[in-house]
A and B are shown apart, each in its own frame.
Chain A
Amino acid sequence: MIRHIPRSETELSALIAHQHQTASPLVIEGGGSAGITGEIGGEILSTTGLSGVVDYQPGELTLIAQAGTPLAQIEALLSQSDQCLAFEPPDLRLVLGTMAAGPTIGGVVAVNSSGPRRLLSGACRDHILGIRMVDGRGRILRNGGRVMKNVTGLDLSRLLAGSHGTLAVLTEVAIRTLPRAPVSLTLAVSGLTPTAAQALIAQALATPWEVSAAVFHRGRVCLRLEGPGPQVASRRAKLLRLLGCEVEELEGEASRTLWRGFRDLEMFADQTLPLWRLQVRARDGAALAQRLAELGGEVLTDWSGGLIWYQGAADPALIRSLAPSARLIRRAGLSTARFPAEAEGLGRLSAGLRQVFDPAGIFNQGLMGGSMGAADAD
């Protein structure tokens, strides 16, 4: 297997220009933790040669890093200034069974990787200030910048977030950092049906107390409060009064460990079963969770009902009929496409955008976009 590891943006640009001319496909790889490398055709293009923090200004809540910089390195740097990436990007190595070195910041942005705190603080794409990238013809391009507010021209930063390496190769990202909450507290209520859980979560989220995450797993709702100590204490008291039921509490490291588990999906480590990710209207989450549980398997409801993880052997066609947004995260032998097919008008525009960015279609061939389907790869 050929593996390219360009050391500079210019080197990357020259490589891609060559691949473009010869219409030779490339598989874009950050840390390799997404587990898709083996199923897409082409030579591997690793971004790990473009690594390092370019600038970090805690007083401006701004970090600029090359795309191949390990997420762990960035998080360690931010924690020195008591800051973090508010969107809580997961590390799915355990779930995907990959022995890779761990996510890179470019990979995080490319898949718009966002954890439980998306509920309060928004997704990865909401925190991107600007990007540098090389498109499918080898052009070095910039969009956005390093400031919070920027409406100068078309917003390609958000378009590239979640494009899964199908439009361009990110080389640098500017990203918003936020203060890290000194206190983390979890309130858990057990013995709930999905419907009762949904009602409890909706009640908590209609308050101004900024519940930073709300999940439902195996009959238990977990709500998280984060912030300065006095604030968390007063919100805890109010939330307990509102819930008016028996509540289990976890503080400090116990709370952080629990949420790391939800973030990294530790309950879904069984490599023999497929793992699905379904996004639905939050209100519809309970009914879908119930239905999936009946089909047999493990279910986790995050984002207050908006995101459902399902590990189980249910028929892919049935899963897609229950939630058209369903994405296959871990194959475990399934040959169906990873991404759902798109509505006709939308699909045409998506295909058109890929044509604009990558006219020879060399990036992550067939991963998104439905028509070709990654199914053909395995």
Chain B
Amino acid sequence: MPAPDPHILDRRDAIHQALAAVLPADGLITAPDELRAYECDALTAYRCAPLAVVLPRSTEEVAAAMRVCHRMGVKVVPRGAGTSLAGGALPTADSVVIGTMRLRDVLELDLESRFIRVQCGVTNLSVSAELEPHGFFYAPDPSSQLACTIAGNIGMNSGGAHCLKYGVTTNNLMAAKVVLVTGEVVEFGGPEPGAAGLDMLGLFCGSEGQLGIVTEAILRILPRPEGARPVLIGFGDAVTAGECVARIIRSGVLPVAIEYMDESCLRAVEAFARAGYPECPAVLIVEVEGAPEEIDHQIAAIREIAGALNPVEFRESRSEAEAVAIWKGRKSAFGAMGRLGDYLCLDGTVPVSKLPATLKRIGELSAQYGLEVANVFHAGDGNMHPLILFNANKPGDLEKAEAFGADILRACVEAGGCLTGEHGVGIEKRDLMGAQYGPEDLAIQMEIKSLFDPDWLLNPAKVYPLEASAPFRAGKGGAA
């Protein structure tokens, strides 16, 4: 991270006073011990307490805080629940964190138009809980959904296990109320399907806090399916498992989720959760939805496809308890890996046909670096989640794990994929952006950033390599 601006640090008290003047007393945190709670997100290897934390209760309070920061030239770090795995909410010492967690109201439910309008500090899961009595749900389901906020979901364009069928946040978002860096409030999209002008909403979603802070959103909602049932399929090797995924997709059956676990992951899960998974190198969990007879029809089709590939095991769930048992291991995978030590979780994505070759490459890199890696991921859309195990207390191990991770992500890009499928770039993949995009591809993105945020005050030092962004941050980027 760049060195903090000494002029800002010197004006710490004046900045606190200016914020206090426009915010209620409980909406501003300045005490050093309380600021520590905001020093990192879920990428805990990096920590830095901010200058202050603002916790507004309304769009107006967000705008007031933004105006103060803009006037005084102070950087702003937007924060949802702090569950980013990419350091998306990591503060700098000279920044003010604006957290959305107190923006918690449900503003409107329009079942006839099938949307819900919320303040963006509501958690992802609470939106679906709100909808449950009406028979509806909100589709994107990142695994942190118990904690993560809609603001964070929009900022990072979050996905989840079920996006194979339902898409990611950008496909389920109809409108956003956004506070720009100047404190001006604008609305992107609306309650009608699709905007008449440029798709600002599409541009904003996933912009990682670079363009503004979202305070309210209209989310598309869907009727709850009548039921869902998983099957578990074990294979003798990764290539066959990968082939099974491609054949299922090509067949016209569209499962809501296809999850993959490799041998290392299965071993850890078995030791931790005793899920009773078969002992084999690759397991798929395929979930289908619908009425009971529709589920039977889809599972029969999947059984036929898998059967032709000689699976080690094909396990069907015939009851709710059996369905829970199939998901148990997958859902405890991260917890199980956490018991083995510290880990880095990446989310590079590759075309489905390149999954086996990429897994092989990850295995080779694992041997080369001498660090264990476990693979558990959303196979239907090629969104991998290699977990690199390391020991944070061992000097040099984190750096080694990071170098290993960078090599994996480069391999994903070389296979025709991308650096990040759902976690975002943050600081974690910032310096790898050049592996995916050329200098001009990045330049146009930074020119857009400069349009929204000319002084580069929003979520500093994230997403774009510092060297590439230097001329823009100095106000000299753009038009050649």
Contact = CB atoms under 8 A, between A and B. Distances in A.
Nearest to B166: A122
A342 B135 contact: no
Interface centre among B206, B429, B449, by most chain A C-beta atoms within 10 angstroms, is: B206
A346 B197 contact: yes
A295 interface: no
Interface stretch (A34-42, A92-100, A159-167, A258-266): A159-167
Interface centre among A307, A327, A356, by most chain B C-beta atoms within 10 angstroms, is: A356
Interface in A270-293: 279-283
A339 B417 CA distance: 37
A325 interface: yes
A340 B479 CA distance: 29
A147 B349 contact: yes
Interface stretch (B1-9, B39-47, B109-117, B326-334): B109-117
A252 interface: no
A141 B171 CA distance: 24
Given A59-B246, A112-B194, A137-B480, A153 B442 contact: yes
Contact of B157 (A62, A82, A151): A151
Interface residues of B, number: 95
Contacts of B441: 141-143
A340 B351 contact: no
Interface stretch (B56-64, B93-101, B265-273, B291-299): B291-299
A135 B202 contact: no
A353 B204 CA distance: 13
Interface of B (DSSP majority class): loop
Given A126-B167, A230-B297, A151 B382 contact: no
B448 A154 contact: yes
B437 A142 contact: yes
A202 interface: yes
A304 to B, nearest CB: 8
B203 A158 contact: yes
A167 B202 CA distance: 15
B66 interface: no
B383 interface: yes
B180 to A, nearest CB: 8
Interface in B194-249: 194-200, 202-203, 205-207, 210, 223-226, 246-247, 249
Interface in B327-378: 349-353, 378
A242 interface: no
B188 interface: yes
Contacts of B73: none
Given A145-B418, A206-B135, A231-B290, A345 B186 contact: yes
A147 B192 contact: no
Contact of A279 (B194, B420, B451): B194
A350 B206 contact: no
Interface in B440-456: 440-445, 447-449, 451-452
A330 interface: no
A22 interface: no
Nearest to B429: A152
A153 B383 CA distance: 16
Given A179-B252, A359-B479, A279 B418 contact: no
Given A135-B444, A154-B445, A206 B421 contact: no
A363 interface: no
Contacts of B290: 208, 231
Contacts, number: 253
Interface in A222-254: 228, 230-231, 234-235, 238
A14 interface: no
Contacts of A61: 249
A150 B194 contact: no
Contact of A62 (B225, B294, B351, B421): B351
B353 A306 contact: no
Contacts of A152: 418-420, 425, 429, 433, 436-437
B41 to A, nearest CB: 16
Given A231-B290, A352-B451, A145 B225 contact: no
A156 B203 contact: yes
A148 interface: yes
Nearest to B86: A151
Given A208-B223, A283-B113, A161 B167 contact: no
Contacts of A307: 193
Nearest to A206: B223
Contacts of B395: none
Contacts of B226: 208
A59 B250 contact: yes
Contacts of A159: 198-200, 202-203
Nearest to B464: A153
A146 interface: yes
Contacts of A356: 444, 447-448, 451, 478
Interface string A343-359: 10110011011011101
A207 interface: yes
Given A158-B202, A159-B203, A283 B416 contact: no
A350 B180 CA distance: 14
Contact of B203 (A112, A150, A155): A155
Contact of B112 (A141, A155, A282): A282
Contacts of A228: 252, 297
B203 A151 contact: no
Nearest to B226: A208
A112 to B, nearest CB: 7
Contact of B445 (A156, A198, A305): A156
A262 B466 CA distance: 51
B133 interface: no
Contacts of A75: none
B187 interface: yes
Interface in B38-91: none
A126 B452 contact: no
Contacts of A150: 349, 418, 420-421
Given A208-B225, A228-B297, A353-B451, A158 B170 contact: yes
Nearest to B479: A359
Contacts of A62: 351
Contact of B294 (A123, A234, A327): A234
Interface centre among B170, B196, B382, by most chain A C-beta atoms within 10 angstroms, is: B196
B120 interface: no
A142 B438 contact: yes
A122 B291 CA distance: 23
Given A112-B199, A154-B203, 7 more contacts: A59-B352, A123-B193, A126-B171, A149-B168, A279-B194, A343-B187, A359-B479
6 contacts: A125-B199, A151-B421, A182-B252, A207-B223, A327-B196, A339-B197
Interface of B: 110-114, 135-136, 156-157, 159, 163-164, 167-168, 170-171, 180, 184-188, 190-200, 202-203, 205-207, 210, 223-226, 246-247, 249-254, 290-291, 293-294, 297, 349-353, 378, 381-383, 416-425, 429, 433, 436-438, 440-445, 447-449, 451-452, 463, 478-480
Q: Lowest 5 CB-CB distances: which A-B pairs, in order?
A: A158-B202, A149-B421, A179-B252, A59-B246, A148-B381
